[in-house]
Structure 1
């Protein structure tokens, strides 16, 4: 598995209410997507990004970060072999992302995802 990028998942009460602070003030001007409960914003010059999340729509817990990988099936198999707790099973979500959630030994929940292109 190769990590492609890591994105902070920032918990907010309301994505739309929080949006202007992150876009207007911080300059994360490009909205890559917005599903109502999660939206990703990216800085046009640096490519730095952030996801605002109210509550994950399909998983039992909210992740602290999202890690995009090139081989999500391999990452899932490795997590199982290593005995890590799978919080959300490997799933192809309705919006096209294939992902699972794993709990790190420190307790943080990590969203491991592959975006099909």
Structure 2
């Protein structure tokens, strides 16, 4: 058996709040809309990973979600342009990533990163 996909499900009464953060800022496509659920994603081939942690690294809290991007500076600019507060970073970590933390519209702590 192979795992084909892992989906993160976030409970909310305001699913439209995801549009700016996940579609506008990150450029994800709206893949499915049944009214009661909207799924954003990409059709690119991507790796499947699940992490379990006692901390988020460098003494930070464990993020709810990590999003790897190809241009960390552009991601940071988009967050700031949308008025989203940066909770940690940006910082170059000793394990080879540059990252920062923000909260999405559902108060989930999101680790935005790029490999250095």
Range class of TM-score, shorter chain:
0.5 to 0.7
Matching residue of 1:87: 87
Please list, as runs of the form range in 1=range in 2, the aligned pairs for 1:1-117 lying within 5 A after superposition: 47-58=47-58, 60-116=60-116
Normalized against structure 2, the TM-score is what? Answer: 0.56
TM-score normalized by the length of structure 1:
0.55
Residue deviations 1:3-54 (CA, integer Å, cap 9, x gap): xxx997xxxxxxxxxxxxxxxxxxxxxxxxxxxxxxxxxxxxx942111111
Q: Deviations over 1:66-95 (max 9, x none)?
A: 101000111011101111121112110011
Report the Cα distance in structure 2 between the residues aligned to 1:63 and 1:72, rounded to whole angstroms.
Answer: 17
Instruction: Quickly say closer, same or farther: Cα 1:47–1:114, change in 2 above 3 A.
Output: closer
Once the 2 structures are TM-superposed, how far is the Cα of residue 59 of structure 1 from its aligned partner? Answer: 5.2
Aligned to 2:14: none
Corresponding residue pairs, total:
74
Unaligned segments of structure 1, at least 5 residues: 1-5, 9-45
SS of the counterpart of 1:56? coil
The runs of at least 4 aligned residues of structure 1 exceeding 3 Å deviation read: none
Given that 1:7 and 1:67 are in contact with CA atoms closer than 8 Å, whether structure 2 keeps it comes out as no
Higher relative contact order (CA 8 A, sep 6+): 1
Whether the 8 Å contact between 1:63 and 1:109 is mirrored in structure 2 is yes
For 2:59 and 2:7, how far apart are their aligned partners in 1? Answer: 18
Q: CA RMSD in A?
A: 2.4
> How far, CA to CA, are the matches of 1:59 and 1:74 in structure 2?
25
